[in-house]
Amino acid sequence: MSKKNIVSLLAVGGLALGLSAGSASAQGNEFELSKKTNETQMLKEKPLSQDLINSRGFEELEKDIKNSESHLQKTLAKMGMRSTSSASNDEDYILEVEYNDTFNTANSSSYDTPTIGQLLPLYDVDFHKVVVPVNGVLLLAGTTNSYAIDLGFFATQKDFVNSDKLVYIGTEVEDGVVYQAYQAKGGTYYAAVYDMDNDYYDDNTEDDLYAIATGFVDNVPPNAPTVNRVDNNDVSVTGKGESGATITVKNGSTVLGSAKAASNGSYSVKIAAQKTGAKLTVTAKDKAGNLSVTVNATVVDGTPPSKPTVNKVDNNDKVVTGKAEANSTVAVKRGSSVLGTTKAASNGTFSITIPVQGAGAKLDVTAKDSAGNVSQPTSVKVADVIAPTKPTINKVDSNDKVVTGKAEYNSTITVKNGKTVLGTSKTAKSGSFSVSIPVQKAGVKLTVTAKDGAGNVSSPSSVTVIKH
């Protein structure tokens, strides 16, 4: 390739930035539009970064384009032209297929195989469709077997539209081959190829060929992974990241574990349980080796407090007392109703004001720590400490062998003469009672009490036996 070729190709390296969006139409003269793009482009000789040159995608492109140079002379017979040697195998390269002079008739290119073509007749422009799979760097390289071709090539969007979807990065020249790079968003683009000296004279023959190759480098890091809550009981870190990316979890410089994200992006990395407060870092690395930004996760307390201890609660009490984890929030519930809450003191004691509850009510008491972990409930039954009301007693005479009256339902009625128990009985559902006793003399004073199921004894009711 001549020095003129190389200088011209360097100038073409940034052509994709030349025209504003919508300033050109695919229905126009593509050669003139390509030329205009070149003329309006501010020429920038930007060298490619060493990282990009050392990338696998660049190395594969370099190999393809250099291999194509040995095929250029061998290709003539394949294209039905004069040649002194046989054509290469189909797998070695793709042959240009006319008509490919517009965006709509562009040939399809391959990242694995270079394309060989001609620039005939005068003002011929060849378009080759390139599909960029994901955001990354689109690479182009071109070479020719002829000094008659002042090879021009560049990447562009359809109809020469200009936007930030395709941005020229720079150019590199190695051994007479020009390489171009464009930062591209995933989508379809076109490599335009033309002879830049067609303005002056048409000296191309059927023996004059060019080769163009495309490459791709994924240089875009994955999005930062999402990380679900991690507590001190967890033996895995879960979340979502880029499909197929390797998720790595570290504590400081120590790698705790890694795993690949599934096709839907979900991941689960096995780790040893970490202490509360430990600072974990999580990253995603894609197949190309691009590393996401680091996501930080602090291990939270996932261990609930112990069950609170609760002192006896009776049907006179307006507070519930006991002990729980220091500084935890203690709650008293009856069913789903919260009766009261308070914070346990530094020594764990608590006192919660509640409405007075009926005997037999079941209360649940829980403790919640600052991390939101809730203890198992401690259940307590409200004790009955309220004695029954005094029984009412019917008249008793010196012939009666029973004492009757009314008292609290299901209470035990006791009849005494002084300290002597004369008889006992339980009240019926209606509260009535009938206690069998020995016949008592007129003037004897009897006392009657009621004792409920909790053992609470009423005040005594007195009755004097009258003469029959």
* 50-78 confidence digits (pLDDT tens): 888 888 888 888 888 877 766 665 555 45
Instruction: Provide the percentage of residues in the chain whose pLDDT is more than 90.
Output: 69
What is the pLDDT, as a whole number, of residue 212? 94
Mean predicted confidence (pLDDT) in 307-317: 97
Statement: residue 224 has pLDDT above 70:
yes
| pLDDT recorded at residue 330 | 98
> CA-to-CA distance for 275 and 290, rounded, in angstroms?
30
- List, in sequence order, every residue forming a beta bridge with 424; answer none if it has no partner: 414
The burial class, CB within 10 Å (0-12 / 13-18 / 19+), for 1 is: buried
Mean predicted confidence (pLDDT) in 161-174 = 90
pLDDT of residue 8: 40
The residue ranges of DSSP E strands in 163-312, in sequence order, are 166-174, 177-184, 187-195, 210-217, 226-227, 236-240, 246-251, 254-260, 266-270, 279-285, 295-298, 309-310
Mean pLDDT of the chain: 87
pLDDT band of 37, cuts 50, 70, 90 = low
With 80 as the cut, is the pLDDT of residue 247 above it? yes
Res 198: pLDDT: 66
**Which pLDDT band, with edges at 50, 70 and 90, does 321 fall under?**
very high
Q: Could you tell me the two tokens for 387?
A: 């004695």
Walk me through the domains of the chain, giving residue ranges and CATH numbers.
3-217 (2.60.120.380), 226-298 (2.60.40.10), 309-381 (2.60.40.10), 392-464 (2.60.40.10)
Instruction: Name the 3-class secondary structure at 159.
Output: helix
- Whether the per-residue pLDDT at 19 is higher than 50: the answer is no
Instruction: Please give the residue that has the higher pLDDT: either 396 or 17.
Output: 396
Q: pLDDT confidence of 451, banded at 50, 70, 90? A: very high
In this prediction, residue 42 carries a pLDDT of 42
Separation between Cα atoms, residue 11 and residue 72, nearest integer Å: 24
Per-residue confidence (pLDDT) for residue 83, from 0 to 100:
32
> What is the tens place of the pLDDT at every residue in 353-375?
999 999 999 999 999 999 999 99
Check pLDDT > 60 for residue 87. Answer: no
In this prediction, residue 178 carries a pLDDT of 87
The rounded distance, in Å, linking the Cα atoms of 272 and 388 is 61
Quote the pLDDT of residue 196: 83
In the chain, what are the helix, strand and coil shares in percent, each to the nearest 5? 10, 40, 50
Among 59-73, 136-150, 402-416, whose mean pLDDT is lowest? 59-73
Assign 264 a pLDDT band (cuts: 50, 70, 90).
very high
User: pTM of the prediction?
Assistant: 0.64
pLDDT in the model for residue 277: 95
